[in-house]
Structures are given as C-alpha cells and as structure tokens.
Amino acid sequence: MESPLAGLPSLSDDLRELARDAAYMAAQQVVETTLVEGADALLLSGDIVDLARSGPRAIVFLQEQFERLNARNVEVFWAGGVVDGPDEWPVVAKLPENVHRFGTGHVENIELKRDGKTIARIQGVSSEDDGSVEASGFHRDANGVFTAGVAYSTNDSPGREGDRVHYMALGGRHRRATVDTEPGIAHYAGTPQGRSPAESGPCGCTLVHVVDGKTHTKFISTDIIRWVDESIEVTASTTLEQLEDRMDERLDKLRQKSQGTDLLVTFHIRGTGPLITQLRPGTETDALVTRLQRRAAKRSPLCWTVGVNCLAPATVPEEWYDQETILGDYLRQLAEFEEDSRKSLGLEQLLPEPLASNWLKSAAKFDNSDHRTVVLENAKKLGIDLLTSPEATGDLVTSD
C-alpha cells in the first residue's frame, strides 16, 4: 500500500492526488468486496504493506478496515511476505481479534467456523526474510473438511503448488495467475491496484466460492485507476494529424467501455513510413501527448495519455548505407554497433566531469541488450530525421 503510481511524467492536481492514494483506495475496495459478497474470511498472502515506508497512516488504515470486517464476523488470515512479516507490526498497535497473523518456520492450522460449525481449515505460514516458504506442513484435513492454504509462495515444483490442499492462496506476484488446478487449485490473486505501465489491465482480488467441496473462483476488479496499452498501426501515408485523430477516437471508445474507471493509456505505434522517424521522445511526440492530455482533462471518466512509444524500426533504403555522405557514414557506424553487441557505445566517456559519477557511468554502458537496442534505434531515427530534413539538405551558397 505504500507504493504510489509510477511512470507518470506529467500530472494534473487531481491525478497527482489519485496517484498517491490509489493503493489505499484499492485496498478499501477489497474490504468492500469482502463485505458485499458476504465472505467468511479474507486471505492476505504477503507484502501488504511496508510499514518502514508507509508510517502511521497504514497502521491506522488497516486497523479501521479490519474493525469493519470484525463487526461483520469476517475472519482475516494474514501470511506475511518479505516486507510484512509478523514481527514488523508494532506491538502497541493492537489488531482486532478477527485478525490471525501466521508466524514463520511452521504451518499453522486454524478452524474457520460459521454459526459454531467448522466450515473450513485455514493453514498458513509467513515467509522467511528471503521470501522462501517451506510447504511440507500444508495438508488436507483428514476428515474431508475443505482446506485452504495461504502463503507468500511455496517451494513445491511448478504445477504442484496446489497438490497439498484444496485451495492455495499465493502472494508475491503482481499479476494474477492460476498455476495449478489438479488435484487442488493454486492461485495468485495479484495486486489490487496496478502501479506502473508494466502492470496494465484490470487488477483486483479473487472470490473463492466453495459448493459441495468444489471450488469456483471469480475475479473482481478493485483498481481505482487502470493502466491500458493501445496499439495503432501507421502506413507510409499516415500524417501526424491523422494519427492524432485516430488516438482521439480510440480514447473515446475506451472511455465508453471503461464502466466509470479512470484510465492511464500508453499508445504503442507500429508500422512503416516517415512518421516512424518523427515519433521520438523530446520531439513532436511530446506536444501530441500534451494536446491529448488537455482534451482528456475536460472529459469523464478520465482517459489520460501517459505516453507514445514507437516500437517500429525506422525504414532505411539500402542505398542510403552506400552513400558517401554524412548520413551514409552515420548509418554504417550504427550498423556496426547493431551487428556486434559486444562493441561498447562509449557513452560514459561523454559525460561531463561534474556528472561522471560511478552510477551514471554504469547506467551509460547499457548492459541490458533490450535497452541497448532501443537506444540505437532511437539514435537511428534521430539521425535520419535530422540529416534528411530540408535544413540539412538545402543548397549551399558561397561567396568571395
């Protein structure tokens, strides 16, 4: 809950406040869902909050939400992850009686009752400091009572995480996923709120419904604002004005389908044509994003354009590489770096002395191959754009 939204280079005042509070609001939606659905228990599978970063606000918030559940006789079973182990919660901040914090080292077994009758067994253990969990203590009830496990992860082999119990609630992943279905289900519910463009799509919690021993799961969205990826194809004849019109149309469609949820949209441009070389950070792309954001600010629900990424490579005629020109020299040098991934770009040598810290020097080496590829592609587009512009190719006038 301590993590605000990231990856938003420009924000309105309202959006800035939402970015700060979205994780808390999504957590509250999880509690609302628990109450509305009439659930018997809420399972929390780790890394709920880092109290060292969040401070008193998170403590008070969680106490209030747990008290709401306690008033409706809803039990809370909390298996700690890397940052929210049982020893991290301050002793002076007493939790309500309905909150059960699992310890580390061994699996605990607690009866879940309704009207005095045991309806399930909840087994859980908090992870060690490195996130590891010993799963051997999980086991199904000998008398056939439905058994649910809750843990940050397990040390079982992939595809066997749910073999020990009827349902295993797992944490530690922001993407929801079912990783085992037979004989038991193992499921990552994922984060209730996406934090960055890398976590696009609906986020929420999972309702586990048990009827006659059979388990059914249902995803319920809880995100307050949602990251969305949209792809647009351009051709050789597509102009910047046409692209902007298509983006506006796409945003209107997204707004109509959003069911009231605010959206953070990243456009990914693919295709061919001269427009590809123009769509780079720091160029007309920035002005395009600004115009889309200004129009979005006047409409509801919000469809805020986060950025425009051009994934398509620049289209370079083969004869350009053979030209005895500055452009030809530039493209041939780039080709050498593209063909030999071991060849250093040497960018760290270009840093001004006051900025040449070890951290910046290491960042400028681009050890990540994908990052290196993106940098070279953007450099190619920049060079083509600058060296083929009218200013670069105009007539040269001399005089005595």
Could you give the CA distance from residue 97 to residue 114 in angstroms, rounded to a whole number?
A: 16
For residues 269 and 377, the model is more confident at 269
Q: Is 215 exposed, middle or buried (0-12, 13-18, 19+ CB in 10 A)?
A: middle
Q: Give the closest residue to 275 by CA, choosing from 384, 387, 112, 137.
A: 384
pLDDT of residue 386: 82
pLDDT, tens digit, 9 for 90 and up, residues 200-252: 999 999 999 999 888 999 999 999 999 999 999 999 999 999 999 999 999 99
pLDDT, tens digit, 9 for 90 and up, residues 53-91: 998 999 999 999 999 999 999 999 999 999 999 999 999
SS3 track for 27-89: HHHHHHHHHHCCCCEEEECCCCCCHHHHCHHHHHHHHHHHHHHHHCCCEEEEECCCCCCHHHC
pLDDT of residue 315: 76
pLDDT at 187 over 90: yes
CB atoms within 10 A of CB 31: 20
Task: Give the DSSP H or E segment for 227.
Answer: strand 225-234
Question: Listing from the earlier edge strand, what are the strands of the sheet with 41-44?
Answer: 41-44, 75-79, 99-102
pLDDT, tens digit, 9 for 90 and up, residues 336-359: 888 888 888 877 777 787 766 777
Could you give the CA distance from residue 129 to residue 104 in angstroms, rounded to a whole number?
A: 10
Could you give the CA distance from residue 303 to residue 227 in angstroms, rounded to a whole number?
A: 10
pLDDT, tens digit, 9 for 90 and up, residues 129-164: 888 898 999 999 999 999 999 999 998 889 899 999
Could you give the CA distance from residue 144 to residue 139 in angstroms, rounded to a whole number?
A: 11
For residue 13, name the pLDDT band (cuts at 50, 70, 90).
Answer: confident
pLDDT, tens digit, 9 for 90 and up, residues 273-321: 888 888 877 778 889 999 999 998 888 888 999 999 887 787 788 888 8
pLDDT, tens digit, 9 for 90 and up, residues 89-136: 999 999 999 999 999 989 999 999 999 999 999 999 999 988 889 899
Could you give the CA distance from residue 90 to residue 56 in angstroms, rounded to a whole number?
A: 10
| Bridge partners (DSSP) listed for residue 20 | none
Average of per-residue pLDDT across 7-31: 87
Query: Is there a contact between 2 and 88 (Cβ–Cβ < 8 Å)?
Result: no
Could you give the CA distance from residue 216 to residue 207 in angstroms, rounded to a whole number?
A: 8
Query: Is there a contact between 275 and 239 (Cβ–Cβ < 8 Å)?
Result: yes
Could you give the CA distance from residue 191 to residue 204 in angstroms, rounded to a whole number?
A: 6
pLDDT at 322 over 80: yes
| Bridge partners (DSSP) listed for residue 206 | 219
Task: Give the DSSP H or E segment for 220.
Answer: strand 214-221
Write the DSSP assignment of 162-212 as a string of letters: TSSSSEEEE-S-SS-EEEE-SSSEEEE---SS--SGGG-S--EEEEEEEET
CB atoms within 10 A of CB 61: 16
Task: Name residue, tokens 């924000």.
Answer: 11
pLDDT of residue 255: 93
The amino acid at residue 103 is G
pLDDT of residue 384: 83
Contacts of 266 (CB under 8 A, 6+ apart): 197, 200, 227, 228, 229, 230, 305, 306, 307, 308, 309
